[in-house]
Structure 1
Amino acid sequence: MSSPEPAEQTSVGARVSRRRFVGVAGAAGAGGLVVGATGGAVAFAGESADDGGVPLTRLGSTVVPFHGKYQAGITTPAQAKAVFLAWDLEPGADRAAVAALMRRWSDAAARLTAGQPGPGDDQVAADAGACSLTVTFGFGGTLFDKVGLAARRPAALKPLPPFPDDALDPARGDGDLFVQVCADDGLVTFGAVRALQKLAKGVARIRWQMNGFARSPGATAKPMTHRNLMGQIDGSNNPKPADPKFDEKIFVTAAAGPEQGWLTGGTYVVFRRIRMLLDAWDGIDKAHQERVIGRTKDTGAPLTGGGEHSAADFGKRGPDGELVITANAHMRVAAPEFNRGATMLRRGYSYHDGFGSDGAPDAGLLFVAWQHDPDEAFVPIQRKLARGDALSPFLRHEASALFVVPPGCAPGGYVGQSLLEG
């Protein structure tokens, strides 16, 4: 069984530009000065040094290859910054125009993810390396009709069904094209998004954009699973590429027919903007929060014991005879063993877009889930969560989209080529 190729990362500090900065060690003065032994100001924190500065760190020099069997940004470890965008085709944009755009986008992404300047580089990220940049492309169901490819639209690429208590904003969902840009540096993500936006002029315009963030590499004493804005470790039970049948669960490994051959090696991504009602969440105590999730808040371990990645004992009962992990605990309701093995690879990011007029934070989770078939994974799991998840009263689903994500491409090719030129 092959494992996803784009997840491999390499350090290329020897051939990318050096990040020039002066770090602050110890306590600096209120003005942010670093003071030498003579008492003179050496440099402001963050200012370039004249002596060549500090070599580009591993964080900046890490490259995730763009080309490969699968697109990067799916099994790639989550970076610190993410930008999600959907695009609508301009009136008159046809199949040839979309093919030309995907070639331009793929060529630019290959250069940018290698730490090289993109077309018309404006030097926004000139001092940084690749910073684990990934660019991932997808197609919405509406694209196929607009470019005369309705016969080649996969059966699974259809509008997601409505779920109880959804409060969806149509303007912030769906779209003809989907782009995910992730990196460990905010300027690198902005530079990539700006390059793609300029290349799309005349063919596609941005329908919606959402920005997310995760824990920065090196911020914790040891690598750890993402902690969400509720303070809970999120993603502990994610499938891993080394798991049996991982590829079959996440990627389309066999075409459904001659019209779908282009999709082999592709996947589907469900995107949901989920607002966390944090004031309500903060209004319950820690023990109650842990019962809602089924895990300890500090370590992410199941309430039945062990560590974060220990298997939960869903049959265990406490001294009172009640289930330790309650029947409506989030981890139980969402677990594959209670959903006929349904599996998704979740790769979500937190977001915070300020505060509402009531003072409540507009914050939560940009839910991103990769799967080989949404009808077998996301849809049945979400239906079950909507019916009986203890976490549901603390969430509001505000935007939703589904895209098909083509396989990766080889050097000289472009993402979606076998569909658009087939």
Structure 2
Amino acid sequence: MTTSPLSRRRLLGTAGAAGAAGLVAGAAGGVAGTALAGDDTPPLSTVGSTTVMFHGKHQAGITTAPQSRGHLAAFDLLPDAGRKGAAALLRRWSRTAERLTAGRAVADDTAIALDAGPSSLTVTFGFGHSFFSRTGLEDRRPAALDPLPAFSSDALDPRRSNGDLWVQIGADDALVAFNALRALQKDAAGTARVRWQMNGFNRSAGATARPMTTRNLMGQIDGTRNPRPEEADFEQRVFVPGGGGAKDPEWMAHGSYAVVRRIRMLLDDWEELSREEQERVIGRRKDTGAPLTGGTETTPLDLEKTGPDGRPVVPANAHARISMPETNGGAALLRRPFSFHDGFDEKGVPDAGLLFVCWQADPLRGFVPVQRKLDRGDALSPFIRHEASGLFAVPGGCQPDGYVGRELLEG
């Protein structure tokens, strides 16, 4: 029997009802046996059919569960773009993101992701410090966007740092993520050029028997102490309040600030340590993520507990001890990183590590005090190198009749 190929729109229309069947088939290693009405093509799996709404109070990609593929990119506006060109670009980008996150094709679609569903695609937009001078909006630049201070562990490449505009793309399918990156780059033609771009990854959805905090390339569970939405102060830690708050302009209402760092992991040096030595550097067990003082991954560290030798079980310079909110005046970051690997050098040393992205309502009360303390004596510092950095103001989400940044650019 000859069947007509499914359009992407038609395929997505059936995905919600058929997702469970697709997931069961995937787990069994076979092809889904349940066909769509009038067609022998199997339905999308649950992973492919999952949609994250583009519109809303906050931009997606901040509290969204980490996806398995990610792209970070910064763009610089062309000299003659100005405020008008920037507004037109954000309008195009928002329309493109709206369509792609819903699993719909865009104009001049390249067919890269033609067979896939939305795969939890998110697209997040932000503004760098330089954006405001290039658009004549210096008087509307948030004070929280002042450049980050220098840290002794920095070895920053200015060519891969900062930028006028920042884009974060995440998806659970590599082709869906790349398709979004390519579409946004094409949208920017004539208005902005790519300043830098980085590719990242996480564990794939469904790769573990149960949901687990992801691991980084050092093998450590990464993100255990993240603030959680069910906590009473989550919103005030991560998001600018409605109306903009005392220090932020009104256009930043419900937005957040993203600190982005490319952190090279010196894996050859790290892997020379024994597991016990690695655990003392971090302050947690490598297998479970539990504190060295006992319990489970979510058990608080017992900073007062000592061993038979009278020394703290969690060393004074352990990364977990130094970075915890309780030792930093309550400063908390919502970490949402991707790992990266960009090949090997001529000596076989991996260029790999963490694309660190953290979110907070105020970077001067979030990232800066924590990083200053880490900079002064973190046991992990000899095994990492900060190679690129950026700070971006990420406004709140938009409604279907608007676009991201409209309150800034048209206010």
Matched, 1:347 2:319: no
Letter in 2 for 1:413: G
Please list the CA deviations of residues 2-38 of structure 1 after superposition, one character each: whole Å capped at 9, or x if unmatched: xxxxxxxxx9662689999x97977xxxxxxx9xxxx
Query: Contact 2:142 / 2:247 at 8 angstroms: preserved in 1?
Result: no
Q: Taking structure 1 as reference, are residues 115 and 324 closer, same or farther at Cα in structure 2, changes over 3 Å only?
A: same
Partner of 1:168: 156
Partner of 1:191: 179
Q: Find 2:196's aligned residue among 208, 215, 222.
A: 208
After the TM superposition, which residues 213-292 of structure 1 pair with which residues of structure 2 at under 5 Å, given as runs?
213-253=201-241, 254-256=243-245, 260-292=249-281
After the TM superposition, which residues 19-418 of structure 1 pair with which residues of structure 2 at under 5 Å, given as runs?
52-253=40-241, 254-256=243-245, 260-418=249-407
Query: Contact 2:153 / 2:381 at 8 angstroms: preserved in 1?
Result: no
Letter in 1 for 2:409: L
Query: Contact 1:13 / 1:56 at 8 angstroms: preserved in 2?
Result: no
Q: Distance in 1 between matches of 2:27 and 2:16?
A: 24
Q: Distance in 2 between matches of 1:83 and 1:92?
A: 27
Q: Distance in 2 between matches of 1:96 and 1:189?
A: 28
Shift of 1:54: 2.9
Q: Distance in 2 between matches of 1:15 and 1:148?
A: 46
Shift of 1:53: 3.9
Q: Distance in 1 between matches of 2:332 and 2:12?
A: 35
Query: Contact 2:293 / 2:302 at 8 angstroms: preserved in 1?
Result: yes
Q: State which drifts further: 390-399 or 116-125.
A: 116-125
Shift of 1:244: 1.3
Q: Taking structure 1 as reference, are residues 416 and 297 closer, same or farther at Cα in structure 2, changes over 3 Å only?
A: same
Q: Distance in 2 between matches of 1:14 and 1:388?
A: 55
Shift of 1:159: 1.2
Please list the CA deviations of residues 329-379 of structure 1 after superposition, one character each: whole Å capped at 9, or x if unmatched: 000000000000001100011000001122110000000000011111111
Shift of 1:256: 4.4
Could you list the runs of 5+ residues in structure 2 that have no partner in the other structure?
1-10, 32-38
Q: Taking structure 1 as reference, are residues 280 and 259 closer, same or farther at Cα in structure 2, changes over 3 Å only?
A: closer
Q: Distance in 2 between matches of 1:142 and 1:17?
A: 46
RMSD: 2.3
Shift of 1:259: 7.9
TM-score scaled by length of structure 1: 0.89
Q: Secondary structure at the match of 2:75?
A: strand
Q: Distance in 2 between matches of 1:56 and 1:259?
A: 43
Partner of 2:14: 14
Q: Taking structure 1 as reference, are residues 317 and 194 closer, same or farther at Cα in structure 2, changes over 3 Å only?
A: same
